[in-house]
Structure 1
Amino acid sequence: MQLFPLIEKSSIQEIKSFQEEKLKDLLKYLENHSPFYQNLFRQNNIDISTIRTLDDLQKIPTTTKNDLQKCNDDFFCIPQSQIVDYSTTSGTLGDPVTFGLSDNDLERLAYNEAISFACAGIQRGDVVQMITTIDKRFMAGLAYFLGLRKMGASVVRMGPGIPELQWDSIFRYKPKYLITVPSFLLKMIDYAEKHKIDYKSSSITGAVCIGESIKNQDFTDNILSQKIKEKWDIQLYSTYASTEMSTAFTECEFQNGGHQHPELIITEILDDDENPVKEGEAGELTITTLGVEALPLLRFKTGDIVKAHYEPCQCGRNTMRLGPVVGRKQQMIKYKGTTLYPPAMNDILNDFNGILCHQIIIQSNEIGLDEIVIKLSTETTNENFINEVRDHFRAKLRVSPKIEMVDFDILSKIVFNPNSRKPINFVDLR
């Protein structure tokens, strides 16, 4: 199979024209098969024949997570008998939403991951260890497996956690790449050092990092990435995806943002008034899926605040690239006149080697204002360390959160909940 789709090397105008033809096909499909979008077109007097360009998309109202939660069944375009897999969103910001996939959707999912992994340098014949959930209605784990199989790589399905077992598998099967939450790499390194495992001479050369950011907005390594690379000389590749879009944005070897796959997704970056942001500005990623059969989405607002980058990449692709997620729109915090997102606070906490585990909690105080409480587990507890953390917050973000020390055994069970696909480092109680 072609793992560098030719459309990605085409000119910007060719990519736009290609996507506009795909958009027309999608609109016809939705008008014929989607109860939700049939109703949306009717209520807003939308004649789909007038939607000819990507700019014309702005004539159509956006779709939100709330729409999916309220009208989940109306989004399905095929009968239940044609659904071969059920997945759900993680429910980070509300009730999970059910997504069904047809045979063709699974094939699309495999294609997406195959070209995404190829983007990061994985090749046919490479052994890849998946340190990620593949069950519990988790779409991504299944997608990784299908994509690796499609591209001809070998898969070691380890699942999350248990460093001892991960190292046993690494030395037994000699994988070249890992797919993992990056913070878990620090746990693996810590385990290896405590148990005299020569991890630096292992077969691992790179890791595709999911669920957490490893880059700053200028594509330099963030603190988490620096900490890993200081200990272990491996390549780290960012990837960004969601269940809703069944599409991944993965870095190439030049690591300047995740590449868009034009045959799979149309992207818009919108401001609070749903107008396109100016180039270089951050806005909410809004996506239109292409080639999805069971539950396609049109102008779906993901809730993620991102910056897009449009200059051609050194790898030869001319596709748009997404920078690291600035934050989740619904997780924005207004604290004493300062606007904050959890990733900025995570970066500050990752600055400290003495912190074993942390959780950021946002709650409303008695007068309705946002209040930040940070729970920490540390190697040694003393007032000086707490003041140092607080001072670092003041210097970097101009805020001084409340800090609570919690025993590691208690906090680690909350943060690394076995029922969660990612570490629960942020809790919004507002």
Structure 2
Amino acid sequence: MMMQQTDEMTLLQEQKLKELLQYLTVHSPFYREMFASHQIDISAINTLADLAKIPTTSKEDLQQRNADFLCVPQQQVIEYTSTSGTLGGPVSIALTDKDLDRLALNEYNSFLSAETTPDDIYQLMLTLDRQFMAGMAYYLGLRKLGAGIIRLGPGVPSLQWETINRLKPTAIVAVPSFILKLIQYAKDNGIDVNASSVKKAICIGENVRNADFSLNVLGKKITDAWDIQLYSTYASTEMQTAFTECSEGRGGHYQPELMIAEILDDDENPVGPYTAGELTITTLGVEGMPLLRYKTGDICMYFDEPCACGRNSWRLSPILGRKKQMIKFKGTTLYPPALFDILNEREEIKEYVVEVYSNEVGLDEVLLYIVPSEQSVECDHRIRAYLQARLRVSPHIKYLSLEAIHKMQFPETVRKAVKFVDKRN
């Protein structure tokens, strides 16, 4: 079944899909070859349901054939961004001038969803360099909207608070676990977070909600200490489009004029609302490196009942996990986000990295690297008893210093903390 939306929007998407297929046939070495090898007659693809006749594209395709996805001459590329690859090195995504305008429109729509006005001032607590698309997207969207921008970059709580006090931003864009560090710094240094100018946060890179939209442990820890409105947003470099919450906090709003989204089961059939599947996207209006039925690897659900904010597009749930990161540990199925939630809940666990590896018979084993609040037998007992109670299985634990875990979380060239390491065969 196809997702519910207005007939007018479906017609617009179908028109844009036909334009995309013609464009790919002329300009994309990868898709031209795919159409030929699978004997796909693009003139027979007229409706959204017809999309199922086209094979999906994977991240491995994008990595192995990176240059064959480029649809424009090199001199038309204005910006090179990159995203992590599944097979080692990074994947490049090239953008034209038109793609940068589309990226700005995408984030303009996203900030409107998060009730942003030209009167807002945003402090950007993320990198705007190192080929990171998101930082640039937020900057371009805010500029299009006419809001104020403070490009401060990641980390350094002392500088973040000094700037908040001096320039009085109304909102921040940050990774939720870093917002907790800001709160801790404020507590340690006698700063009243609720007396600050900041009233909302766009949360990136980590879930702050459970699948039922209630705040998870991370979201609760932030809002218990700081009376700010949290807005989740989900995007990826490849899709150049975001799903951003409104103030109802009931999922990220779909932008159907910028992409066609499908949620597919293991057999690549579309699933209905409230059913977990893999988000698969077709970009609309992308010139440099458009993608057709690209499987993101992210497991999520969609919800199509009307939203109280008045928008009629369906909404995406928090990401439940990565398809390839599912862990089968002693008969229990786990996804890293759920494991992170459990680890975030305990005061005794200051920092962590989850490692998964294959044992001698090829089964998944879980090793937790943990920075404990104190090095004591009692603390160790509390951590182990808690994990046994919550997981019903006992993972292996190795205690590390804060310095050692930071080296694991931030290896060279990495932009955001690595919390999950997959060493399986």
- Give TM-score, length-normalised by structure 2: 0.96
The one-letter code sitting in structure 2 at the alignment partner of 1:51 is: I
Q: Which string of whole-angstrom CA distances, capped at 9 and with x for unpartnered residues, describes residues 376-396 of structure 1?
A: 112212333333333333333
- Normalising to structure 1: TM-score of the pair? 0.95
Distance 2:388 2:13 in 1: 46
In structure 2, the residue corresponding to 1:117 is in which secondary structure? helix
Aligned with 2:241 (options 234, 242, 247) = 247
Gaps of 5+ in 1: 1-9
> In the alignment, which residue of structure 2 is the partner of 1:20?
14
Contact residue 386 and residue 403 of structure 1 kept, 8 A: no
Aligned partners of 1:200 and 1:399: how far apart in 2?
Answer: 40
Cα distance between partner residues in 2 of 1:255 and 1:181: 17
Q: Answer with 258-267 or 416-425: which moved more.
A: 416-425
- Tell me which amino acid in the other structure corresponds to 1:117: F
Say which SS state the counterpart of residue 197 (structure 1) adopts. coil
Contact (CA 8 Å) 1:360, 1:374: kept in 2 or not? yes
- How high is the sequence identity, in percent, across the aligned residues? 54
2:373 paired residue among 370, 379, 387: 379
CA distance in 2, matches of 1:356, 1:398: 22
Q: Which amino acid aligns with 2:70?
A: F
Residue 217 in structure 1 maps to residue 211 in structure 2: yes
The answer on whether the counterparts of 2:300 and 2:316 sit within 8 Å (CA) in structure 1 is yes
Which residue, 141, 145, 152 being the options, matches 2:146?
A: 152
Matched, 1:427 2:424: no
Amino acid at match of 1:274: E
Paired residues in the alignment total 421
Which of the residues 291, 313, 316 maps onto 1:297?
A: 291
SS of 1:296's equivalent? coil
Counterparts of 1:187 and 1:94, CA distance in 2: 31
Paired residues for 1:169-208 under 5 Å: 169-208=163-202
Q: Deviations over 1:226-245 (max 9, x none)?
A: 01111111011100000000
Match of 1:395 in 2: 389
**CA separation of 1:392 and 1:379: change in aligned 2, threshold 3 A:** closer
- Partner residue of 1:5? none
2:25 is aligned to 31
Q: Is the 8 A contact 2:372 2:379 kept in 1?
A: no
Preserved CA contact (<8 Å) 2:350 2:371: yes
Q: Find the aligned partners of 2:412 and 2:361 in 1 and give their Cα distance.
A: 35
Residue 409 of structure 1: how far off its partner (Å): 2.3
Note closer, same or farther for the CA distance 1:92–1:348 as it changes in structure 2 (3 Å cut): farther
The equivalent position to 1:269 in structure 2, one of 258, 263, 273, is 263
Deviation (angstroms), 1:11: 5.4
**Partner AA of 2:141 in structure 1:** G
Q: Is the 8 A contact 1:287 1:298 kept in 2?
A: yes
Please report how far the alpha carbon of residue 126 of structure 1 lies from its aligned counterpart in structure 2 after TM superposition. 1.2
Answer yes or no: is the 8 Å Cα contact 1:128–1:177 preserved in 2.
yes
- Alignment partner for residue 231 of structure 2, among 223, 231, 237? 237
User: Residue 99 of structure 1: SS of its match in structure 2?
Assistant: strand
Residues 233 and 245 of structure 2 are in contact (CA less than 8 Å); yes or no, is this contact kept in structure 1?
A: yes
CA contact (8 A) 2:278 2:299 kept: yes
Judge conservation of contact 1:378–1:408 (CA < 8 Å) in 2: no
Asked if the contact 1:348–1:392 (Cα under 8 Å) also holds between the matched residues in 2, the reply is no
Does structure 1 retain, via aligned residues, the 8 Å contact 2:347–2:373? no
Gaps of 5+ in 2: none
1:316 aligns to what SS in structure 2? Answer: coil
User: In the alignment, does 2:131 pair up with 1:124?
Assistant: no
Contact 2:5 2:314 in 1 (8 A): no
CA distance in 2, matches of 1:289, 1:388: 48
Match of 1:43 in 2: 37
Pairwise CA distance, 1:420 = 2.3
Read off the aligned partner of 1:310 and give its amino acid letter.
D
Two-structure CA RMSD over aligned residues (Å): 1.5
* Post-superposition offset of 1:95: 2.5
Q: 1:135 aligns with which of 129, 147, 154?
A: 129
Match of 1:166 in 2: 160
One-letter amino acid of the structure 1 residue matched with residue 267 of structure 2 = D
Q: Identify the match of residue 52 of structure 2 among 38, 47, 58.
A: 58
Q: Distance in 2 between matches of 1:429 and 1:323?
A: 28
**Any idea what SS the aligned residue of 1:84 has?**
strand
Q: Secondary structure at the match of 1:266?
A: strand
